[in-house]
Structure 1
Amino acid sequence: MPSSLRASGVSYSSALRDISLTLAPGELVALIGPNGAGKSTLLRLLTGYLSPDSGQCTLNGIALDAWTPQALSRQRAVMRQQSLPGFDWPVEAAIAMGRAPWPSSDDRDAVEQIMALTGCSQLRGRNFSALSGGEQQRVQLARALAQLWRDGKPRGWLFLDEPTSALDLYHQQHLLRLLKQLTADGELHVCAVLHDLNLAALWADRLVLLHQGMLVAEGRASQVLQADLLRRYYGADVHIGTHPHSPTPQVFLSP
């Protein structure tokens, strides 16, 4: 069976209504929508942290609540919004915590590779609490990648809740370029909640627009980032232009 993670007609309280969505490896999907649209709730359902009131979420055809915690933790990793660990360890130890589902005599090589990949090598030896918000986000990303790391690369399902919110321009670009690169070989899927529509347009393969708990549009950036749709669901006066170096649509607020 082809690898997939699927939500089939899921509803949860008053936050989500009858959502159906299929995620496949090799893809970067951005969940977008105004505040309160249900993006973070959908992320929690897709990762198994919440159980739907109706409908079902499945991974490779098996309901998420039928997976054992250890087996599921080897398949998907989550970087939550403002996730603070209950410790104050050095950066390399915090990242190594991601290897917990994979008991091994020596994970040092994997941690070194991940630190270099995510730009965390320069943070070595510093305690987590001493880092800036952006630096903490980079360490949390590295820890999530460590959880999925097998044979020199991440494999599985990576979920991120507003991963660029505390990052400067350089690190936003570095993170999204990295996620795009890591999905390119078809063994990692990334699903991220993004508020910046222009970042989502530049790097996501597919946009999923939520509004008041419903999935109201889905597709490529050119299909979803249309002025009438954004005005209707965001309530903002916007204009759509084109990126100067690619055919990607970009969103501009009217003055």
Structure 2
Amino acid sequence: MDNVLTAEHLRLTLGQRQLIDDVSLTLNYGEMVALIGPNGAGKSTLLRLLTGFLVPSQGQCYLAGKPLSQWTSTALSRSRAMMLQQTLLRFDWPVEEIVAMGRAPWGPKRMCDIVHEIMMLTGCETLFGRRYSTLSGGEQQRAQLARSLAQLWHNGAPEGWLFLDEPTSALDLYHQQHLLRLLKTLTAGRALHVCVVLHDLNLAALWADRILLLHKGKLVAQGAPQQVLQAEAIAKWYGAEVCVAAHPGSKTPHVFLSP
């Protein structure tokens, strides 16, 4: 039970709009789940419900068998972290201090050592001493990933639930590969779950153990990449004409836009 986060019949209504419509799912330690869907499908909104930052109009989220609403803020902050698409800061701190913000739920013990270890792990060591405002969009994303991992760092590794909203959107090819390889490796330790919103279906196919497909607030498909990423399903839910073939270096599906 400790290794499961469940959502039961989540709904979120804003005025006359149904943003999330009867979504139920289970997330387990040791897996990397990609959340996909067209623009406006409700992906970011669902992340905020799963993390407790939004309260559903109906339904409930449970972590370790207990509703998120019954967790204290400190205990929940030690168990789950979320990286937003964009994080606007009102202060211009050095990158290492931004990363150290993730340690707030834990107190100052060994903070410097942990921050240094995580910056090395995430490839942020070259950003040490630089002001956050001077970073490119991709560099800021890397710093925010490091901050999110710092929040979950316990006994030498991240433990808990990490939610990422389009963390590769501003990254070049090398850093996309590095980030997703790192997340895959960390989840293999079986003490971390990663749920990541991705627009690039091919990245989702390569790295995710499971894919959840949202459309207009509904969970319309889920399963292994081979089950979800089929040409007919993509045409139905995205309205795009595509071809799907096997990736040349693996058995995962690869999506090509039709000319």
Interval of TM-score (by shorter of Structure 1 and Structure 2): over 0.9
Equivalent residue, structure 1, for 2:3: 3
Equivalent residue, structure 2, for 1:47: 51
Secondary structure in structure 2 of the residue aligned to 1:58: strand
2:2 and 2:65 in contact (8 A); partners too: no
Q: For 2:160 and 2:66, locate their aligned partners in 1 and report how far apart those are by CA, in whole Å.
A: 15
Q: What letter corresponds to residue 66 of structure 2 in structure 1?
A: I
* Paired residue total: 255
Equivalent residue, structure 2, for 1:180: 184
Secondary structure in structure 1 of the residue aligned to 2:8: strand
TM-score (normalised: structure 2):
0.97
Equivalent residue, structure 2, for 1:217: 221
Q: What letter corresponds to residue 11 of structure 2 in structure 1?
A: S
Query: What are the within-5 Å matches in structure 2 for residues 7-156 of structure 1?
Result: 7-13=7-13, 14-156=18-160
Q: For 1:82 and 1:196, locate their aligned partners in 2 and report how far apart those are by CA, in whole Å.
A: 18
1:238 counterpart = 2:249: no
Q: What letter corresponds to residue 81 of structure 2 in structure 1?
A: A
Percent of residue pairs bearing the same amino acid type: 65
Which of residues 188, 194, 197 in structure 2 aligns to 1:190?
A: 194
Equivalent residue, structure 1, for 2:206: 202
Q: For 1:137 and 1:64, locate their aligned partners in 2 and report how far apart those are by CA, in whole Å.
A: 27
Question: Which runs of 5 or more structure 2 residues have no equivalent in the other structure?
Answer: none
Q: CA deviation at 1:3?
A: 1.7
Deviations 1:154-212 (A, max 9, x none): 00000000000000000000000000000001000000100000000000000000001
Question: Which runs of 5 or more structure 1 residues have no equivalent in the other structure?
Answer: none
Secondary structure in structure 2 of the residue aligned to 1:74: helix
Range 2-11 or range 25-34, more displaced? 2-11
Q: CA deviation at 1:87?
A: 1.5
Q: CA deviation at 1:65?
A: 1.1
TM-score (normalised: structure 1):
0.99
Equivalent residue, structure 2, for 1:171: 175
